[in-house]
Amino acid sequence: MGKKSIIKWWYPLAAVLLLALFALARQERAVSAGADAPPPVLVIDPGHGGADGGAVAADGTLESGLNLDIALRLQALCRFWGVEPLMTRTGEDIAYPDDAGSIAAKKVADQHARVGLVNNTPGAVLLSIHQNIYPAAAPHGIQVFYGAASGSRELAELAQANLTAQLCPGNRRVASPADKGIFLMKNAGCTAVLVECGFLSNPDDLQALQSDGYRTKLAAVLLASYLQYIRGTTT
């Protein structure tokens, strides 16, 4: 995506938000841990996609589409700030193996492919984007989950604090360990976090997530959190 697309999304509040947080993170990213240490690579994972639409809101809004939209905004902002991310998918279509005939088999194949991409990327830092859902409408808010690898909890707590402060100050949710049943988070061998950006079952969260400006702000805070994190680990 080019600069015209970025400017289209670039609402004044989002610009202030990104610049303010980026100012905290902007330092020379010299690797002090050792000359042979690979530079960090942000791997952006838009959850679900293809045959797996993920959660579905009452009005038919699919999780997979929201995840991808936020991820593409994050990718564009990354490039604007000189960060070249790696995406696990860039569209709704996913190429599956010929022998993956059922939806379940396609999901398994896709998850294995994502894990392979992450674990074969030196210096990877995984950020997986998702949406939450619940049978009742009351639960709401953003929550960040972390994997077992070193740095995951630190990145999750940083992202949770930034997202809460900037987008939902009343949110009482805290960064927590990812469920062991989440294949990608369980098998990622790198710093890994999963962000549940809101509840599709909550009318207020859904309305916010359907706003271009809000999705841009989500992407901005996620980028700023990543930059703050790598500042702390590579300087």
Which pLDDT does position 33 carry in this prediction? 45
Residue 44: which residues within 8 A CB-CB, separation 6 or more? Answer: 71, 74, 75, 78, 85, 86, 87, 88, 127, 129
pTM of the model: 0.87
Write the pLDDT tens digit of every residue in 100-125. Answer: 999 999 999 999 999 999 999 999 99
In the chain the domains, ranked by start, together with CATH numbers, are 3-25+39-92+100-234 (3.40.630.40)
Are 121 and 43 in contact by the 8 Å Cβ rule? The answer is yes
Which pLDDT does position 61 carry in this prediction? 97
Average pLDDT of 83-96? 96
Q: What is the mean pLDDT of the chain?
A: 89
Average pLDDT of 180-207? 97
Write the pLDDT tens digit of every residue in 148-175. Answer: 999 999 999 999 999 999 999 999 999 9
Write the pLDDT tens digit of every residue in 42-86. Answer: 999 999 999 999 999 999 999 999 999 999 999 999 998 899 999
Residue 226 pLDDT > 80? yes
Which pLDDT does position 24 carry in this prediction? 46
Write the pLDDT tens digit of every residue in 7-42. Answer: 454 444 455 455 545 544 454 444 444 457 789 999
Residue 11 has a CB neighbour count (10 Å cut-off) of 16
How far apart are the C-alpha atoms of 110 and 116, rounded to whole Å? 10
Which pLDDT does position 12 carry in this prediction? 43
Are 56 and 63 in contact by the 8 Å Cβ rule? The answer is yes
How far apart are the C-alpha atoms of 96 and 18, rounded to whole Å? 37
